[in-house]
Amino acid sequence: MRFFSDNAAAAHPAVLEAFAEANRLDTAYDGDAWSRRLDGVFSGLFGTDVRALWVTSGTAANCIALAAMVPPYGGVLCHREAHINVDEAGAPEFFTGGAKLLLVDGPGAKVTPEILAEARGRIRADVHQVQPSAVSITNATEYGLTYSPEETAAVGEFARSHGLGFHLDGARFANAVASLDVPVSELTWKAGVDALSFGFVKNGGFSAEALILFKPELASAAERLRKRSGHLLSKGRYLAAQLLAMVEDDVWLDNARHANDAARRLAEAAPGRLVHPVEANEVFVRLTAEEAASLRAQGFDFYDWGVGEARLVTSWNQDLGDVDRLAAAIREL
């Protein structure tokens, strides 16, 4: 019973079906019938004109977006625990040609305009220090917290007023949307977001993420960076088909709701143990080494998260029986 992560689950049947349909000759790269529908379908979803590019990983989506916004001598304001800083092996520095991540702190890996303003205020506006060119946040955060439309818009207003790009790492954007139950527009372009890494792999896809550009002027750079980084696959239709299958019947939202629901069940079993509020599909709990060992002995797998804490992540297809068994086991600790 695996609660390691949502990044290794099987793909949703609709995705596989779409994939099989795409298994026929069509134009290479993104000239095929599936790829050519992406802009339209995502524009419909977001209620505004967007450019939507498939890529094969969240790292690629994040870093292509950042490199399209940030010059090599620029900087990106982000949380110290952001995935782009911690778990992407320096990919942002690589894609941007050496831009600097300008790190801030904040509970639950969330940032606020106040935190950002404080960090920016410490940067002298001279040529000796790297100046920020963009802000990047993650929704839901690396600790499973969400940014509401208001919170997102406040960051967006900070970015706008300082002439910064605004990137949203949405590896678990679906979970945030499902949790907040608000229109996607309010978490993105209406809140000032310029580019969204819209994650599907953790939510039922297998190899396709969407880079959504709300500023069309970013598209040219992004398309060149996608090619230049080896992400313009020749048989792109297999990626586009995955995305379309996820979006067209709200599969992405249903999947995220399932995962969130599973996390909520775990959270309700451990009210006194929660390290962070549970607002998406990740549950961080305090567990002694003995308690963790006891759960593992009962067949539950998960990561320790520092000393005395553990991370439980639920997937789009997490077996709810397993979830309830884990919830019960936690209650009995």
Residues within the interface to its own copies (CB under 8 A): 2, 4-5, 7-11, 16, 19-20, 23-28, 32, 55-57, 59-61, 63, 67, 71-73, 75, 86-91, 93-100, 127-131, 201-202, 206-207, 221, 223-235, 238-239
Backbone angles phi and psi of 277, in degrees to 5: -55, 145
Note whether 203 and 316 are within 8 A (CB). yes
Give the shortest CB-38-to-its own copies separation in angstroms.
16
Nearer to its own copies, 96 or 139 (CB): 96
Contacts of 307 (CB under 8 A, 6+ apart): none
Give the shortest CB-178-to-its own copies separation in angstroms.
20
Tell me the two tokens of residue 331: 């209650």
Nearer to its own copies, 46 or 54 (CB): 54
SS3 23: coil
Nearer to its own copies, 122 or 181 (CB): 122
Give exposure, 281-319, as e/b (b: 16+ Cβ within 10 Å).
Answer: bbbbbebeeebbebbeeeebebeebeeeebbbbbbbbbe
Give the shortest CB-181-to-its own copies separation in angstroms.
27
Give the shortest CB-77-to-its own copies separation in angstroms.
14
Nearer to its own copies, 91 or 184 (CB): 91
Nearer to its own copies, 103 or 274 (CB): 103
Contacts of 63 (CB under 8 A, 6+ apart): 84, 88, 91, 92, 94, 95, 96, 229
- Tell me which residue of 228, 206, 256 sits closest to 22, measured CA to CA: 206
Contacts of 5 (CB under 8 A, 6+ apart): 202, 303, 313
Give the shortest CB-183-to-its own copies separation in angstroms.
28
Tally of CB atoms within 10 A around 182: 14
Nearer to its own copies, 26 or 186 (CB): 26
Give the shortest CB-150-to-its own copies separation in angstroms.
32
Give CA–CA dist 146/172, Å, rounded.
Answer: 10
